[in-house]
Amino acid sequence: MTDKPTRIALVTGAVTRPHAAQGIGRAIALRLAKNGMHVAVNDIAPNLDNLNSLSEEIRAMGMKSSVHTADVSKEEQVRAMIEGVVETHGGLDVMIANAGITICNSFLETTVEEWDRIFSINARGTFLCYKYAGNQMVKQGRGGRIIGASSIRGKSGNNAAGSSAYVGTKFAIRGITQAAAGELGKHRITVNAYAPGFIESPMTVQADRNLVEKYNFKPGQFLETYRTLAPVGYVGKPEDIAALVSYLVSEEAHFVTGQTISINGGVFCD
């Protein structure tokens, strides 16, 4: 009886400037390496230094790692990224489409340019990662796991001051996830998404700043309001999302597909 080959994972949006040590993508990449996977990491070129540092951390854990700069909204760059991972590691078993941005503007003030930009990265980027990872996994014939990044704002869009376009992208990811799961299940590929509430991360810190500037919130009011709404009495950490992803990509999660799983401290219940 031979040991199963080590699985290969790719995490997009793996670092965030300037707080690379705090992001969800980084926490997921490290958790998958801890679980015994080789982990390729992606972000845009300006984040290359932080990507290299993360990759070094993964290698220090005894796993293989590689760095792939790409803008997930660009089809040719996503195609080349997947090809690069396969060329380096010999395949792809786990795709974590984590890359995304937020734009703070009210529904009535959101410009077409802002709308197009956030949809190109969050929604089209997720679609492209699902598509090219899915094609590779089908070609390999050994199944796979694809995970996307939705949000509590992909479950409930009301009371989302300054994030109407973001809400639209996160609802879109839910739909893309369900459609992909329906097509890829016969290939033993599951497709799911995580829907975090507010997590202590660079994105929520920036959202707090934006609300201070645009809507006269007090510094920290954004997170404090969420904290008081959560039955558990606190906001989440990136490692909480990484733990959920760890389960979703496991063999035990073979019967979970097409789901966007809420992880928000009880603020919103499906």
Query: Catalytic annotation on 130?
Result: no
Neighbours of 101 (CB within 10 A): 16
Whether 220 is in a domain gets the answer no
Instruction: Please list, in sequence order, all residues whose beta carbon lies within 8 angstroms of the beta carbon of residue 134, skipping any fewer than 6 positions away.
Output: 95, 144, 146, 180, 183, 184, 189, 191
Percentage of the chain beyond pLDDT 90 is: 76
Whether 207 is in a domain gets the answer no
Whether 210 is in a domain gets the answer no
Find which of 2-16, 85-99, 202-216 is predicted with most confidence, using mean pLDDT.
85-99
Helical (H) or strand (E) element with 40:
strand 38-43
**pLDDT of 211-259, one tens digit each?**
656 666 677 676 777 778 899 998 899 999 999 999 999 999 999 999 9
DSSP-based three-state secondary structure for 199: strand
Whether 216 is in a domain gets the answer no
3-state helix, strand, coil in the chain (%, to 5): 50, 15, 35
Asked whether residue 45 carries a pLDDT value surpassing 50, the answer given is yes
**pLDDT of 172-203, one tens digit each?**
999 999 999 999 999 999 999 999 998 886 66
Helical (H) or strand (E) element with 9:
strand 8-11
**What stretches of the chain show up as alpha helix (H) in DSSP?**
24-34, 48-60, 75-89, 112-118, 125-140, 164-184, 202-215, 221-229, 238-248
Provide long-range contacts, Cβ within 8 A and 24+ apart, for 107-113.
107/164, 110/164, 110/165
Q: Which domain holds residue 130?
A: 8-198+236-263
Whether 41 is in a domain gets the answer yes
| pLDDT in the model for residue 210 | 63
Question: Which of 130, 166, 194, 226 is an active site residue?
Answer: 166
Examine residue 231 and say whether the peptide bond preceding it is cis (omega within 30 degrees of 0): no
Please count the structural domains in the chain.
1
Percentage of the chain beyond pLDDT 70 is: 89
Q: Tell me the whole-structure pTM to 2 decimals.
A: 0.92
| pLDDT in the model for residue 104 | 82
Q: Are 150 and 260 in contact (CB under 8 A)?
A: yes
Which has more pLDDT, 229 or 39?
39
Whether 173 is in a domain gets the answer yes
CATH number at residue 32: 3.40.50.720
Query: Catalytic annotation on 214?
Result: no
Whether 222 is in a domain gets the answer no
164-184 and 125-140 helices, crossing angle to 10°: 20
Question: Which of 130, 132, 155, 170 is an active site residue?
Answer: 170
pLDDT band (50, 70, 90) for residue 209: low
Whether 225 is in a domain gets the answer no
